[in-house]
Amino acid sequence: MSKIIEAKNLVYEYYKEDDNGKVIDKIKALNDFSVDIYSGEFLVVLGHNGSGKSTFAKHLNGILTAKSGTLIVDGFDMKDEKNIFPVRQNVGMVFQNPDNQIVATIVEEDVAFGVENLGLPQKEIRQRVDDALETVGMSQFKKRSPNQLSGGQKQKIAIAGIIAMRPKCIVFDEATAMLDPTSRKHVMETMQMLNKKYGITIIHITHYMQEAILASRIIVMEKGKLYLESTPKEVFKNVDELKRIGLDVPDATYLIYLLNKQGLNLDPTILTTEEVVNALCQLK
Amino acid sequence: MSIEIKNLSHVYQENSPFEKKALTDINITIDKGDFIGIIGHTGSGKSTLIQMFNGLIQPTTGTVLINGIDINDEKTAQKAIRQKVGLVFQYPEHQLFELTVLKDVEYGPKNLGLSEAEIKDRVEKSLRAVSLPENLWENAPFSLSGGQKRRVAIAGVMAMEPEILVLDEPTAGLDPKGRDELFMQLKTMHKELGITIILISHSMEDVAKYAEKLIVLSEGRVKFTGTPREIFQHTIELEQIGLAPPQIKYIVNSLIEHGFTLDNSILSTEEAATEITKILK
């Protein structure tokens, strides 16, 4: 598999200044952070608030630029400012609050907003907008006003706006945090579909461990560094360690962990309801 | 302080092409000292409902009684009653604006015309109530972490000394530890200060763990009320209205189907582990 993102020794600092603009403190949001992300991956990024997840995400399309280290996205070196625009066409971002991402008063105009700026013929824009709405299953809403939509539907509109750009990679920065369980499920299904059917690389930042089990790989960030990196099964079996750094594990994994503490001998990499039930039925 | 909602309905932009029914025929009672979770899909009317609690929105029909007094009746002391109901909106940290934490929290009480000493006392009490470390009090609110900022915003509402604290998704965007800490904090305030707490949440795991009672809304109507144990037994109905019980509930349900003798109201992983161990040993 080819690498779509190569991050090497990234450092990014936030400065704390006093009233006179003098720097009184520096916080290393990324502290020698390195990771490779491969084309077609479904990568989930975990970490507590302030661990550097969003800071990293914002580097991926040039919203932030690292102080040192190298970041190659889709073959472009992000240090060079003139690379930012080509990269932004290929790396889309969906943020947490759907209301902050909607700019137009009609759904299809909102979806067209990004793609209109690519200098494409009118016909092509029309086609792409229609296709994008079709892909996320929102075609019947295209003439509606976004403010009549639910949170999950608005997120799908935001996703459609990015799909219309035909990106290679989409970064979801806690894009499910404000949604109800069903909307969350729909957005997760959309992500999986984009990944499987269209081969789009998905990078999903979340605090919901249930969503993380869908990943092909998980990275856990802590204090601006890469802390753990593996498949969901291998990551979540580290219950004590994850809880210590402010994270959680799926209920199924935690149940197995508690039962094993009581002296049972069950597979600690269990993640799903079916796996737990099967394992316990065998003991009965 | 109790809240009683009687035959309440609300329509946005009535008699216009954009007319939208937000709430229909709501009847609920919230008693003093309750710890209530309100759950429902996006657009089910949760946010509209909580804004009724202190008169930010007046219902199209029906009444809101606080301690038996109609808060939308112009003859009553509306302002005094509304001050007893503190509302914390979604992402309250976006409303922080002052140069220091202390100044931000004292903004509300200052506008009540209290004495300097009283203001200072309330501000310190509120910041302690949300457990914000004292060495951060002189810091700029913007230099704090997400969870800390949210505590400052909640302290700002606490400084108004409400008897009822209403929070709209207080833990959205916080990590699991931040969520647990904030809920523990609310629990403590609820217990020690006797404040009635009402909160909206999309995290079924959290309300299952912390709320004493739940109100379930769907399409502007009350679908269920009861304890989390009672409510989450309605797995299929909850799924139909866009909600889902925590994973442990599905595990317990499935184990029961496979012949395990378990109490079907189990809601916590710890409890499930204890019961399963008993069966297997």
Q: What is the pLDDT of residue A50?
A: 82
A268 close to B (CB below 8 A): no
Phi first, then psi: give them for residue B247, nearest 5 degrees: -55, -35
Mean pLDDT, all residues of chain A: 92
Q: CA–CA separation, A284 vs A280, rounded Å?
A: 6
Q: CA–CA separation, B65 vs B274, rounded Å?
A: 44
Q: Which residue would you say has higher pLDDT here, A23 or A32?
A: A32
A120 close to B (CB below 8 A): no
Q: Which of B170, B202, B168 is nearest to B186 (CA)?
A: B170
CB contact under 8 A, B42 and A47: no
Q: Which of B34, B7, B91, B41 is nearest to B214 (CA)?
A: B34
Q: Which of B209, B200, B199 is nearest to B176 (CA)?
A: B209
Residue of A nearest to B202 (CA): A180
CB contact under 8 A, A183 and B41: yes
Q: CA–CA separation, B8 vs B28, rounded Å?
A: 9
Phi first, then psi: give them for residue A199, nearest 5 degrees: 65, 20
CB contacts under 8 A, B 84-113 vs A, are: 90-91
Helix (H, G, I), strand (E, B) or coil at B208: helix
CA distances from A32 to A10, A27, A69, A223, B184 (A): 5, 13, 8, 10, 35
B76 close to A (CB below 8 A): no
Q: What percentage of chain B exceeds 90 in pLDDT?
A: 63
pTM reported for the whole predicted model: 0.87
Nearest CB to A179; choose among B174, B202, B246: B202
Q: Give B79→chain A minimum CA distance, Å.
A: 31
On chain B, the residues whose CB falls within 8 A of the CB of A247 are 175-177
**Under-70 pLDDT residues of chain B:** none
CB contact under 8 A, A251 and B254: no
Q: CA–CA separation, B143 vs B124, rounded Å?
A: 20
Mean pLDDT of A44-55: 91
Show the DSSP H helices in chain A as ranges.
53-59, 84-90, 107-115, 122-135, 151-163, 181-198, 209-212, 232-236, 239-244, 251-261, 273-283
Q: What is the pLDDT of residue B173?
A: 80
Chains A and B: how many Cβ contacts under 8 Å?
A: 118
Q: What is the pLDDT of residues A204-245, one digit of tens each?
A: 999 999 999 999 999 999 999 999 999 999 999 999 999 999
pLDDT band at A73 (very low <50, low <70, confident <90, very high): very high
Rg, Å, chain B Cα set: 20
Q: What is the pLDDT of residue A110?
A: 94
Q: What is the pLDDT of residues A83-115, one digit of tens each?
A: 998 999 899 999 888 788 888 999 999 999 989
Question: Does residue A153 carry a pLDDT above 90?
Answer: no
Helix (H, G, I), strand (E, B) or coil at A86: helix
Q: CA–CA separation, A19 vs A39, rounded Å?
A: 46
Q: What percentage of chain A exceeds 90 in pLDDT?
A: 73
CB contact under 8 A, B242 and A281: no
Q: CA–CA separation, B199 vs B191, rounded Å?
A: 16
Q: State the amino acid at position B156 in one-letter form.
A: G
HSE-up of residue A181 (Cα within 13 Å, Cβ side): 19
Q: What is the pLDDT of residue B171?
A: 86
Q: Residues B272, B229: contact at Cβ < 8 Å?
A: no
CB contact under 8 A, A180 and B243: yes
Q: If you search the block for the tokens 């892909």, which residue do you land on?
A: A135
A207 close to B (CB below 8 A): yes
Structure tokens at B100: 């220091």
On chain A, the residues whose CB falls within 8 A of the CB of B145 are 49-50
Question: Does residue A202 carry a pLDDT above 90?
Answer: yes
Q: State the amino acid at position B158 in one-letter form.
A: M
Q: CA–CA separation, B168 vs B133, rounded Å?
A: 24
Q: CA–CA separation, B274 vs A234, rounded Å?
A: 25
